[in-house]
Homo-oligomer: A and B are copies of this chain.
Amino acid sequence: MSGTIEQAAQALLAADNILIITHRRPDGDTTGCAGALCRGLRQLGKTAYILPNPDLTARYEQLIAPCYAPEDFAPEFVVTTDIADFGLFTENAKPYEDRIDVVLDHHRSNRMAASVRVVRESAGANAEVVLDVLDAMGVTLDTEIATCIYVALSTDTGCFRYSNTTPDTLRAAARCLEAGVDGGELNRKLFEVKTWARFQMERIVVDTVEFLRDGKIALALIRRADIDKTGADMDDLDSIASLTRQIEGVQVGITITENKDLTCKISVRTTKEVDASAICAKCGGGGHLRAAGANLSCGIDEARAKILEAAEQVYAESELA
């Protein structure tokens, strides 16, 4: 069933011993939402924890690690933040698949089952949904909670640059600044500073990117050997996914990353002319209109062929053909 902000707030207010789950390869939105919700629930006097996420990177550590559930925590109520699909659960979250009470998300592809399921596709970041729930519960937006919300808002919208940024995103961010968030310093760390590993990976990408369809499609292959050589982590790699779309004339930027087991993760970033989720759907993936992804169990050369075929099909089906 589906639900409203008010229903989610009422369900949470009636609950205690709450566990919050974030998705695999956690980003700023899933961790920021979980961090804000957990701290908000604690402010109301509840016992709340976040399920440890084995994929967590240093970038978002402060948002959720201090709230990690101890091993013996026995939750009575389970919430997911920013998770579109059970396939995005980490291994240690799988035992909770059949007992999700509240889903808070903003992915149009959301297929989660829960008692109360709030999915606001129009939200730039899921943190807008979480902020509304916190408001509905009467939580005060303190600096710590506002920091979690701000990181989620800014990282999911390219620091308010992308087309998914809405008036609500900006007004929520305004409230975070008023709550004491140092936006300038946070953004410098999140968006400006490049780690050495990322700098090296960027060098490899710009040196090897290939252009197809008269420069409308740009394709970058990130091989495991290069990742190992540079020591790049998931955050370094994630930020590289949007590089190819930045080049003049490129409508579809595709990045294929070799996983450790040599299967592949595909990231697709598009300009407004092309639907990224439609391309990824053809490979069993999904996501947003301008940013989507897919996981392929094949090697990098086969993955390259498959995603290029998918992109060509989407072009063929559209007016742009």
Q: Which residue of B lies closest to A191 (CB)?
A: B161
Q: In the bound complex, do residue B246 and residue A194 qualify as a contact, i.e. CB atoms below 8 Å apart?
A: yes
Q: Tell me the complex Cα distance, A47–B246, Å.
A: 41
A271 at the binding interface (Cβ < 8 Å): yes
Question: Could you say which of A14-22, A55-63, A195-203 contacts chain B?
Answer: A195-203
* Cβ-defined contact, A203 with B207, below 8 A: yes
How far in angstroms is the closest Cβ of chain B from A316?
Answer: 25
CA–CA, A195 to B178, complex, Å?
37
A188 at the interface (CB under 8 A from B): yes
A167-B163 CB under 8 A given contacts A196-B248, A207-B203, A248-B194: no
| Contact yes or no, B206 A183, CB < 8 A | no
Taking a contact as CB atoms closer than 8 A, the residue among B162, B168, B196, B198 that contacts A249 in the complex is B196
A160 to B159, CA, bound (A): 7
A residues adjacent to B (C-beta < 8 A)? 159-168, 170-171, 173-175, 177-178, 182-185, 187-188, 191-196, 198-199, 202-203, 206-207, 215, 245-249, 271-272, 290
Q: In the complex, given contacts A159-B159, A163-B183, A199-B248, what are 13 additional A-B residue pairs having Cβ atoms less than 8 angstroms apart?
A: A160-B161, A161-B183, A161-B188, A161-B192, A163-B185, A166-B177, A170-B173, A171-B174, A185-B272, A188-B271, A195-B248, A196-B247, A206-B206
